[in-house]
Amino acid sequence: MNTNAALTDLITSTATDHHESTIALLQSLIRVPSVNPYFTNYREPSREGDVQDILAACLEPLGATLDRWEPSAAELAKHAGGPGYYPDRDFRGRPNLVATLPGSGGGQSLMLLGHADVVSPGDGWTGDPFAAERRDGKIYGRGAADMKAGMAAAVSALEVLRAAGVRLRGDVLLASVVDEEAGGLGTLAVVDRGYRAAGAIIPEPTDLNVAPLCRGILWGRVTIPGRASHIEMPQPHWRDGGAVDAIPLGRMVLDAIDALNARWAADPAKRHPLLPLPCQVCVSMLDAGEFPTAYAGQMRITFDAQYLPPEKDERQLGGRVKAELESFFHEVAQSNDWLRENPPTLEWLVDADCGETPADHPLPQLLHRAAQIAGALSRMEGMSSHTDMGLLVNAGIPTVNFGPGAPSVAHQPDEHVAERDLHQATVALALTIAEWCGFDLASQP
């Protein structure tokens, strides 16, 4: 990084002076319950548009041109079968926002892209999940880490640069999208609208590590058929009309999934040198039975399976891994007489694509050095979860994930982010933006 020590000190001190404003911005974002309506256990309407209002009010005074629109699944149907497209999404009252801050000319452009939606709060919180409580050097709330802290740091970095008198040569685009938590159609709409940059940073929670890779995610549901009947009565063989309890059949399938995961853990194709965990089939939901007095007529197993960039199919999705799992469940069914004649059904719910930028690309290298200068104990490490980076990489934009907050606390009760991480992310992003886009100081002719 060529940024001189004086500029580093200027940005750091300005970010420190601006820190309370950054905290206030994050708290205002958390207090908006912008829960993605995909999560039907949360009954209130999504307020993603209110998040965009807050961001717009920060960005317009910086001279940004604002583009705000509601994506249309119908208009994006030309992308059907590809990453990020889901035909059933309704975006009424759920706008995207892209703010363009024009540079003075002669520099590289940079996109900062994050999402306005959060998952539902769920149970187990020790306080109000949308109160944005500040205590012990942390800010608590749903979305605090994933990823309103990252968006607050990105906006704050732009404000810090302006306050420090740093004039950027390249354009900066800040995009706040909807629907990331349910597949990524918001980002697809940004790409479809023609927005491009020479590089992109997604400020997802990475614990201030630099992640030039994210895995793809498949959500699937396998339904194991049984035959319900009175649980207290003697039963003939199933071929004679007797009951078939789906629960022990489901247990058999769960045991087979455990064995599959052991094989995947030992398979180099399911590992990546930048990831701490192999790809696995993680069972997340179980649903069986209808009545306490009846054998279960079916059992549903919902799972999350991950895949890597080399496993993508010709559509840049997880079709190869889907086929692998379809074959796996078919083979499991062949081992049981009932399931051989009454095979389980497999439904695919989400296919969220993966993405990768080479770790030696200038953008992740620049960001890594900036994070270290900001005081972060930053590593180059991929994200085990999904982000929207694949849609940007597929559009020809080198992309990296970097942001405050531990990914392990995302989607959990008492989600939080450390104030120190928020400050270090702000400094690191400001340094990276200046170096990537090129800059002049206001005091210079």
Q: Model confidence over 264-300: pLDDT tens digits?
A: 999 999 999 999 999 999 999 999 999 999 999 999 9
pLDDT at 4 over 80: no
Name the catalytic one among 48, 117, 204, 311. Answer: 117
Select the CATH number that applies to the domain covering 5-214+354-441 from these four: 3.40.630.10, 1.10.287.70, 3.40.50.11740, 2.60.450.10: 3.40.630.10
pLDDT class for 442, splitting at 50, 70, 90? confident
What six digits make up the tokens of 385? 């979860």
Q: What is the DSSP string of 123-168?
A: S--SS-TTS--EETTEEESTTIIIIIHHHHHHHHHHHHHHHTTEEE
Least confident span in 66-70, 91-95, 182-186: 182-186
Q: Record the pTM.
A: 0.90
Listed in sequence order, the DSSP H helices in 164-223 are 185-192
DSSP bridge pairs for 282: 304
Determine the 3-state secondary structure of 313 from DSSP: coil
pLDDT at 432 over 80: yes
What six digits make up the tokens of 137? 């050097």
pLDDT digits (tens, 9 = 90+) for 393-417: 999 999 999 999 999 999 999 999 9
1 vs 26, residue with greater confidence = 26
d(CA 402, CA 24): 21
Least confident span in 5-9, 92-96, 366-370: 5-9
- pLDDT at position 7: 87
Average pLDDT of the residues in 72-87: 93
43 vs 384, residue with greater confidence = 384
19-30 vs 419-437: helix crossing angle, rounded to 10 = 110
337 is an active site residue: no
Select the CATH number that applies to the domain covering 218-352 from these four: 1.20.1070.10, 3.30.450.20, 3.30.70.360, 3.40.50.10800: 3.30.70.360
Domains 5-214+354-441 and 218-352 share a fold: no
- Average pLDDT along the chain: 95
- pLDDT at position 39: 81
pLDDT > 70: what percent of the chain?
A: 98
117 is an active site residue: yes
pLDDT digits (tens, 9 = 90+) for 52-64: 999 999 999 999 9
Closest CA to 104 of 444, 437, 393: 437
- pLDDT at position 445: 41
Determine the 3-state secondary structure of 176 from DSSP: strand
Burial 361-381 (b: 16+ CB within 10 A, else e): eebbbbbbbbbbbbebebebb
DSSP bridge pairs for 224: 299
pLDDT at 156 over 90: yes
Average pLDDT of the residues in 110-130: 96
- pLDDT at position 137: 97
pLDDT at 2 over 60: no
Name the catalytic one among 146, 171, 179, 180. Answer: 180
What six digits make up the tokens of 253? 């399938």
Q: How far is CA 422 from CA 148, 177, 221, 268, 442, in A?
A: 10, 21, 38, 36, 26
- pLDDT at position 443: 63
Cis omega before residue 285 (within 30°)?
A: no
d(CA 60, CA 285): 44
Domain ranges in the chain are: 5-214+354-441, 218-352
pLDDT class for 72, splitting at 50, 70, 90? very high
Q: How far is CA 220 from CA 10, 161, 246, 349, 405, in A?
A: 50, 45, 18, 5, 28
- pLDDT at position 171: 98
pLDDT at 358 over 70: yes
pLDDT class for 97, splitting at 50, 70, 90? very high
Q: What is the DSSP string of 59-96?
A: HGGGT-EEEEE---TTTTGGGTTSTT--TT---TT--E
